[in-house]
Structure 1
Amino acid sequence: MNEWLRKKKVHDFFQQKGSVQLERTLSGFDLILLGVGAIVGTGIFILPGTVAAVHAGPAIVFSFIIAAIVCAFAGLCYSEFASAVPVTGSAYSYSYVIFGEVFAWLVGWVLILEYGLAVASVATGWSSYLMSLLEGFQLHIPTALSGPFNPAEGTYINLPAIAIIMAVAFLLTLGVRESTRINTIMVFIKVGVIVLFLVVGIFYVKPDNWQPFMPYGVSGVLSGAALVFFAFLGFDSVSNAAEEVKNPKRNLPIGIIGSLFICTLLYVSVSLVLTGIAPYTQLNVSDPVSFVIALVGQDWISGLIALGAVVGMMTVILVMSYGGSRLLYALSRDGLLPKSMSSIHPKYKTPIKNTLIFAVAVSLCAGFVPLAKLAELVNMGTLIAFSIVSIGVIFLRNNKSIQPGGFKVPFYPVLPIVSFLLCVFLMSQLAYYTWIACVIWLLFGLAIYIIYGRKHSIMND
């Protein structure tokens, strides 16, 4: 049993026999854009309307702020870990240093689920927005090719969802620098569309629509916070870039906290304008941002917003696919998955094999499987990682193998403990079937570790 709890030291990650290191090319600004690319997607184009209409009313701004505070606490903990343990693998690698191998494997196994389902879910939403955009040009994708396998509704495969996942995977194989350049362009496009909505929409705001401001009470605001938490998923994927960052001790905290701050500002601003243009009771639609702009007669902006949504979701797919492929690289490099998955292409300096394996597996889910209920597992996987990282900071401070210096969580140890408790509270709000599915996934992962990972781990050397 002792071998299950064996821990790695930070220098072990860089001195592994036969290990090839990733190329350091990313700046703090690149990381902020990666974070914004991962976070701003369905959360800003869909969630504000439905959550305002059903749960929080105009007070959805408080829901976003509460969710942002939870994420900010976790983000500060991630920043300290990323600064002290600047290696790829995110919470998986941190757990390996602090808690031991079996805990690290299970955290990594849960994160694979998070990244995979997030990519599949967003790709499915991207497919819907794309078809809506194409219909504006009188172009139509056959029904049989536009949804998951459901013969009763005439759908057999979601071809656009598969296509976007594979296209993003191909882009990622060309190199992280090339991928971040494309991500930068797409982030500026979608943020530009959001700013356009705010600039135009503010002239149509009627303060009377903000009354009553909190129609569902405090409980509505809190339930809304649990739902809009999904809107902030993705910032942790920034820490997966640790081995490809110049000066990680400085730039990783900048990327994590900077992207969270920008996204919170955008979410709150959009929510205020959205609920100010139309009564919150009218916002329970699939495209609330386009809906309210169309209400005030600005149809041309409505079309641009649809384009912004398509571009915005592409960046989420890109960054979450990047995080998933780097996590598989870390697991493989440590021997817990087959070594071939950690091979680096000599020209592009990227782990091409595992990038394509991840893309194929996820595209099959997006193409054939309805993901409505499974999507909640994304929240569960993220919250497990957040809670592990939050409480792990306390153990990190007592770890003598960690070099001093770098970013430190303020108000230690209160803030990490509060962050851990908040994550556990949000997990308790998830449905029982989500817990059951998560336990099944963890048991499956434990079986893989016992059969394969424990025997092939590099810690056996």
Structure 2
Amino acid sequence: MTLGGGTMIGAGIFILPGIAAEGAGPASSISFAIAGFVALLAALSLAELATGMPIAGGSYHYVNRGLGSLFGSVVGWGMWTGLMFASAFYMIGFGQYIVEPIPGLNGRTLIVAFGLLGLMLITGVNYYGTEESSGAQNVMIGTELAIVLVYTGLGLFFIDTANLADFAPTGAGGVLATTGTVFVTFLGFEIIATVAGEVKKPGKLIPLTMVLSVVSVTLLYVVVMLVSTGVIPYQQLGGSLVPVSEVAVVYMGSAGVVAIVFAAVIAAISSSNSSILAASRVIFAMGRDGLMSDWLNVTHDRFDTPHRAILATGGVTGLLVALGLEVEAIVALLAEVASFSFLVSYALVHVSLVVFRRADPPEYDPDFAVPGPLYPAVPILGVVMTGVVIWQMDRVVQLVGIGVVALGVVWYAAYARGDAMESGFLDEALNRGPSSAYTVVVPVSNPDTQRGLIRLAAASARENADDDAVPTLVATNVLRVAGDPDRQNVAAARLDHQRELLAATEEIATEMDVRLETRAVVAPDVGDAILDAVRDADADHAVLGWKGSFTGGPFGFGSNVDPVLAAAPCDVTLAGLGASPSGGTVALVGDGPNAPVAARRAVEFASADGGRPTLLNVRPAADDADADPVERGEAAIAAVGERAGLDPDEYDARVVVDGDVETALLDATVGRGLVCLGLSDRDEVDSGARRALAERAAERTDGDVAVASAGDDGGPETDA
């Protein structure tokens, strides 16, 4: 709870009571309660999404994945700017609590100067490493919480009920408007989701920590505001830059003021530290997804931190702190703009939850789900409540907030659209709900072969699609890195190559009139990553490129292919692509277990050119005069066609009688555009005979060679 609760306690307890009291009087306690309720709704939706996708990025990642890169850009920019506005808000509060209580120190220049010094310290700590900043965080939060509990515990005995008589001087409108101002203090639970990729046991800890943080801090805020406005009149509290010190001096004396100042200083540092940490992770993730410059998507060689993202975040936050020299109401403005940005983000998070539930993609399997009786009430009420709070905000704040949203849209259209990698699940949620479309996964890595792979995959998908379902291809590119992929340097040239591949794939799929989803993956093992993509997509078929030759050592088809061939829960086709001359399609069919799959693939692939394949069976000359090898061959072809679910008019049958079966089979491949054959035994992918035949077929023909294998529903699951 340190990142979550610490940020919320630090923001509200020491800086916001004065602003809140000025806006709503003692009823500001209700403003905090409403803000806490809105935050709790968002926390429930975020908890489900975070346990389904525990990866760094928080709301940005979930919206980007669920609604697509346009909305991801809006939320990414909103979160980054919102966290920077919040961090600047904390740092100005830091300066206020140092300057105001000390005689002889005054002036906005000193406040801003101390704020900038504190920001430099925090940026340096985050640059050096998350573990160091997290350890300091624990100590700071424990100290400030102890002081706050003493403040509230003693203050309850000094409340003057007369100060609470005019409970809501600004009415319901003032209470709601103040809710928008104080919502900034509830950003802590979002920070938990933002660093979800670094949380151990996310399925248990994320929802528990989020909900406990929001509920406990909401109760604490309500008590603090009742104490603060009960001990001194709200008019006096509203005019103070250090409101908690003004209250503490009444019943804790000068020693209490010193303790409050100390707690306020470490609370502001703690809150700003959490915000800088989370903001840098957001733009780091945006850089990885093509929505921000690749320059930011780099980790430090020594400290293993996203140092460029941290420096960029610290630099912009410093400019916002410096605005305090010119803008008199900077504290309230920073708080409200941060609130606006996150309220918009949370509204889209609620929508994303509904989209994931309706589209039900296979990779979405959260450990925590919003309980049945509360769904869809939680996301619907969450959207309504965020809209109500935003509507009551000051017009200046609304204009600045809308400007941030517009920035995200313009940035996407002008810069990121061509590099964006996520199409989202909005279409499935709106049009079909859970999809029953025939799905083919196509790993792509080579620009020279991706068109051929997409062509074969599209043909398979179209031939197998139901009348009411759209055939779907999932193009996947895997960048191999060593170690944890979320914390690795990935060269900009490699990311550019990945995006260019996937963008070209989209163009090819458009030409072929199939629906395409793209997946950009960074992983330490390519084969395992492809296998995960097949399982995540709940694929019916996977089409993988193959060089047409076999590797030495323990692998038969190669380290990237063998794991998929051995364990994928769907049909797999290995395609060795050649010059593809016109010559039709032939399937070499015999008694092997995968002959029907090869026959089926031949029919599907031949359909790409509107042709009909030949199913070829080679028989040795009969020793028994009564046994006609041609009739036996035709019977074998018919049996294979029947097992493949083919009608006889979907293929041509050809029987060759020859004493040298293998030579006859290879001779039949010459001049063919595509040769299909079945893998002899999927449990022995490195066994010799069929591999050798496939390799020799690839050598003999200038066309394509496809090795087909039936699915293995019982394939082993990965440990992840």
What is the TM-score normalised by the length of structure 2? 0.54
Structure 1: gaps (5+ residues):
1-31, 148-157
Distance 1:232 1:341, change over 3 A: same
The one-letter code of the counterpart of 1:60 is S
Distance 1:170 1:276, change over 3 A: same
Distance 1:293 1:433, change over 3 A: closer
1:267-287, Cα deviation, whole Å (9 max, x unpaired):
122122223323434322222
Among 146, 155, 159, the alignment partner of 1:201 is: 155
Which residue of 1 is the match for residue 257 of structure 2?
302
Among 209, 231, 247, the alignment partner of 1:292 is: 247
Distance 1:55 1:444, change over 3 A: closer
Q: How does 1:430-441 map to 2 (within 5 A)?
A: 430-441=393-404
The one-letter code of the counterpart of 1:36 is G
Whether the 8 Å contact between 2:196 and 2:206 is mirrored in structure 1 is yes
- How far has the Cα of 1:214 moved from its partner? 4.6
Distance 1:298 1:386, change over 3 A: same
Which residue of 1 is the match for residue 15 of structure 2?
46
Distance 1:128 1:144, change over 3 A: closer
Distance 1:329 1:214, change over 3 A: same
- 1:456 maps onto 2:456 in alignment: no
CA distance in 2, matches of 1:247, 1:168: 28
Which residue of 1 is the match for residue 68 of structure 2?
100
Distance 1:365 1:348, change over 3 A: same
CA distance in 1, matches of 2:211, 2:24: 28
- How far has the Cα of 1:128 moved from its partner? 1.9
CA distance in 1, matches of 2:161, 2:401: 44
1:205-233, Cα deviation, whole Å (9 max, x unpaired):
33444335455554444344333323323
Which residue of 2 is the match for residue 334 of structure 1?
289
CA distance in 1, matches of 2:190, 2:108: 36
Secondary structure class of the residue paired with 2:299: coil
Which residue of 2 is the match for residue 402 of structure 1?
363
- How far has the Cα of 1:460 moved from its partner? 4.3
Distance 1:347 1:196, change over 3 A: same
Among 426, 429, 444, the alignment partner of 2:389 is: 426
Whether the 8 Å contact between 1:43 and 1:228 is mirrored in structure 2 is yes
- 1:61 maps onto 2:22 in alignment: no
Which residue of 2 is the match for residue 146 of structure 1?
110
Whether the 8 Å contact between 1:56 and 1:224 is mirrored in structure 2 is no
CA RMSD across the alignment: 2.4
Whether the 8 Å contact between 2:24 and 2:171 is mirrored in structure 1 is no
- How far has the Cα of 1:435 moved from its partner? 3.0
Whether the 8 Å contact between 1:226 and 1:426 is mirrored in structure 2 is yes
Whether the 8 Å contact between 2:86 and 2:184 is mirrored in structure 1 is no
Whether the 8 Å contact between 2:45 and 2:350 is mirrored in structure 1 is yes
The one-letter code of the counterpart of 2:202 is P
Larger radius of gyration: 2
State percent identity of aligned pairs.
27
Among 72, 78, 83, the alignment partner of 2:51 is: 83
CA distance in 2, matches of 1:128, 1:84: 41
Which residue of 2 is the match for residue 366 of structure 1?
321
The one-letter code of the counterpart of 2:417 is R
Whether the 8 Å contact between 1:374 and 1:434 is mirrored in structure 2 is no
- 1:446 maps onto 2:400 in alignment: no
CA distance in 2, matches of 1:62, 1:188: 27
Secondary structure class of the residue paired with 1:337: coil
Which residue of 1 is the match for residue 89 of structure 2?
121
- How far has the Cα of 1:301 moved from its partner? 0.2
Q: How does 1:257-276 map to 2 (within 5 A)?
A: 257-276=211-230
Whether the 8 Å contact between 1:124 and 1:161 is mirrored in structure 2 is yes
More helix by share: 1
CA distance in 2, matches of 1:304, 1:334: 45
Which residue of 1 is the match for residue 344 of structure 2?
384
1:150-174, Cα deviation, whole Å (9 max, x unpaired):
xxxxxxxx33222211211111122
CA distance in 2, matches of 1:299, 1:96: 51
Secondary structure class of the residue paired with 2:229: helix
1:388-445, Cα deviation, whole Å (9 max, x unpaired):
0012211111222334341111310111100111001111112233333333333343
Among 187, 198, 204, the alignment partner of 1:250 is: 204
More strand by share: 2
Whether the 8 Å contact between 2:74 and 2:409 is mirrored in structure 1 is yes
The one-letter code of the counterpart of 2:53 is V
Distance 1:447 1:215, change over 3 A: closer
Which residue of 1 is the match for residue 39 of structure 2?
71
Whether the 8 Å contact between 1:80 and 1:408 is mirrored in structure 2 is yes
Q: Please, which moves more after superposition, 78-87 or 330-339?
A: 330-339
- How far has the Cα of 1:34 moved from its partner? 0.4
Instruction: Pick 1 or 2: higher relative contact order, CA cutoff 8 A, min separation 6.
Output: 1
Distance 1:429 1:445, change over 3 A: same
CA distance in 2, matches of 1:64, 1:448: 34
- 1:236 maps onto 2:236 in alignment: no
Distance 1:207 1:378, change over 3 A: same
Which residue of 1 is the match for residue 277 of structure 2?
322
Structure 2: gaps (5+ residues):
421-497, 502-720
Whether the 8 Å contact between 1:166 and 1:360 is mirrored in structure 2 is no
Which residue of 1 is the match for residue 569 of structure 2?
none
- 1:351 maps onto 2:306 in alignment: yes
What is the TM-score normalised by the length of structure 1? 0.83
Which residue of 2 is the match for residue 313 of structure 1?
268
Whether the 8 Å contact between 1:42 and 1:309 is mirrored in structure 2 is no
The one-letter code of the counterpart of 2:303 is Y
CA distance in 2, matches of 1:395, 1:334: 20
The one-letter code of the counterpart of 1:108 is G
Distance 1:446 1:193, change over 3 A: same
Among 171, 182, 205, the alignment partner of 2:125 is: 171
Number of residue pairs aligned between Structure 1 and Structure 2: 415
CA distance in 2, matches of 1:83, 1:209: 45
Secondary structure class of the residue paired with 1:455: coil
Distance 1:105 1:213, change over 3 A: closer
- How far has the Cα of 1:125 moved from its partner? 2.0
Secondary structure class of the residue paired with 2:56: coil
Secondary structure class of the residue paired with 1:40: helix
Which residue of 1 is the match for residue 504 of structure 2?
none
